[in-house]
Every structure is written in C-alpha cells, then in structure tokens.
C-alpha cells in the first residue's frame, strides 16, 4: 500500500464530518492527492445501499451483510486504486463502525464480523483511525435540530452508550492505529490535535 488510509469514527454527532472536511483541506493545501469519501457509500452502488441501510427496516443479519457488500464495492472501485497510486484516502467511517454499531450496538456476533472483515478486506486496515469520543448526551444535543433522524440516529441513548463502549474496546485492542480524540473540545482545539498527528503521518 503506497498511500495513507485515514478513517474517522465515533457516534452520530461526534464531529467526524466537520473534521474530515478540515483534514482534507489541510492535506490538499500541502499538495497531497486526497480521495475524500464515506461509508456506507463512496460509489454509486454503495450509496444506493446506504439509502436502504439508513431508511428501510431490516434484520441485523441483512444489515451486516449490506454494510460489507457496500464496503467491498467501495474498496474495489475507489479505495484500493487510490492507495495503489499513492493518494491519501480520508474516509468518514469504515469497519470500526461495523464493530461498534452492528456488533456492540446491535449484538452481532464477533466471529461473524471478523469473518466478513477478513473476507472483504483481508489484512488491509486503515493506517490511522481517529475516534471522536464524546458523551452520548453531547452528541445528541449536537444532532438535534438537524435533518430528520435515520435508522441509526433515532436509536436511544443506551444504544449510543453501547456503541461508544464498542469503540472504546476497539481503541484498547489496537492503540497503535486508533487515536482517541476528545470530541468535547472546541472545533479549533480538535483541529490542532488532528493537524499535528497528520503532519506526523505525512513524514513517515
Ligand atoms: N468540536 C466540536 N465542538 C462543538 N461542536 C462541534 C464540534 N465538532 C462538530 N460540532 C458540531 O456538531 C454537529 C455535528 O457534527 P458532525 O456533523 O461533524 O458530526 P458527525 O460525527 O459527522 O455526525 P454524523 O455521524 O451524524 O454524520 C455539527 O453541528 C457541528 O458543527
Ligand atoms: Mg457526519
């Protein structure tokens, strides 16, 4: 893998999209080619699957397979070619979201997620993952007032507590990759922390 694969994670309203946009601007201003993308989504097919995932009722098994189907298309068509040509890939959510939402949040078995993960992306993992950690109450306040809630955003606070615990476990298991960012800081405080770490990644 020649390029650098950076993912942003956290519960809904944690601040991912805000800081994805800033990080992309920062990298592009330094002359890097950046593929800015998101999950579920990132290709025409995967965006269509996203619409189903966010708005149609379905079982947990179906949900789990659809997120990985979308991911496979995204990897094949966009992420892997970009990394191969040496570009940066900055992605709003990736497989840690599946562990946190479908796993910790909804109770999908770890063996199933692990099996699908290794089938769909083999040994590939992000170079760096920023986990935006905020209290579920803070995230809910930030979300309120924005557009109508989707199937995930309309879950209760207990669901988001489990999802947050899921992220906590992921971060504890892979501290070299997953960096916890205190998402309760101001936008400028968080931006400075990210830029410092991105500068480090750029020099590797
Ligand atoms: N560090 C921050 N401090 C205060 N407010 C913030 C911060 N980061 C983001 N916000 C605000 O919180 C709201 C949610 O942020 P954002 O949309 O970036 O979250 P998200 O994690 O992408 O959410 P979702 O998962 O629903 O897409 C926005 O109104 C944004 O301006
Ligand atoms: Mg977002």
Taking the centre of ligand 1 as the mean of its atom positions, its distance from the CA of residue 123, in whole angstroms, is: 31
Q: Quick one: pLDDT at residue 203?
A: 78
CATH number at residue 81: 3.40.50.300
Q: Is the CB of 15 under 6 A from ligand 1?
A: yes
How far is the CA of 98 from the CAs of 106, 162, 192, 197, in angstroms? 10, 13, 28, 25
Name the token pair of 171.
Answer: 């971060």
Q: pLDDT, tens digit, for every residue of 122-156?
A: 999 999 999 999 999 999 999 887 778 899 999 99
Handedness of CA 102, 177, 201, 87 (dihedral sign): negative
Q: Which atom of ligand 1 is nearest to the CA of 18?
A: 18
Task: Using the predicted structure, report yes or no on whether residue 1 has a pLDDT greater than 90.
Answer: no
- Tally of structural domains, the chain: 1
Q: Which position has the token pair 């040496």?
A: 86
Q: pLDDT, tens digit, for every residue of 157-202?
A: 999 999 999 999 999 999 999 999 999 999 999 999 999 999 999 8
Q: Which position has the token pair 């990985």?
A: 68
Name the token pair of 85.
Answer: 């040509």
Q: Is the CB of 190 under 6 A from ligand 1?
A: yes
**Which residues span the domain enclosing 78?**
4-203
Alpha helices in 40-123 (DSSP H): 44-55, 60-74, 80-84, 95-97, 110-121
Q: pLDDT, tens digit, for every residue of 71-104?
A: 999 999 999 999 999 999 999 999 999 999 999 9
Q: Is the CB of 38 under 6 A from ligand 1?
A: no
Banded pLDDT at 37 (limits 50, 70, 90): very high
- Say what the pTM is: 0.96
Q: Which atom of ligand 1 is nearest to the CA of 183?
A: 1
């Amino acid at each position: 893998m020649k390029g650098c694969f950076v993912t942003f994670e956290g519960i809904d309203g944690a601040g991912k999209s805000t800081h994805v946009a800033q990080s992309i601007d920062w990298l592009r201003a330094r002359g890097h080619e950046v593929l800015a993308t998101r999950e579920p989504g990132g290709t025409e097919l995967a965006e269509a699957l996203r619409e189903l995932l966010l708005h149609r009722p379905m079982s947990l098994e179906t949900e789990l397979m659809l997120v990985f189907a979308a991911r496979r298309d995204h990897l094949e068509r966009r992420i892997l070619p970009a990394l191969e040509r040496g570009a940066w890939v900055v992605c709003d959510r990736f497989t840690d979201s599946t562990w946190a939402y479908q796993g910790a949040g909804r109770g999908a078995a770890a063996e199933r997620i692990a099996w699908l993960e290794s089938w769909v992306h083999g040994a590939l993992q992000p170079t760096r993952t920023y986990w935006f950690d905020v209290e579920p109450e803070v995230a809910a306040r930030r979300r309120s007032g924005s557009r109508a809630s989707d199937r995930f955003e309309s879950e209760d606070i207990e669901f988001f507590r489990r999802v947050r615990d899921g992220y906590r476990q992921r971060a504890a298991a892979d501290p070299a990759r997953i960096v916890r960012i205190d998402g309760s800081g101001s936008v400028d405080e968080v931006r400075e922390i990210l830029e410092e770490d991105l500068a480090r990644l750029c020099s590797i």
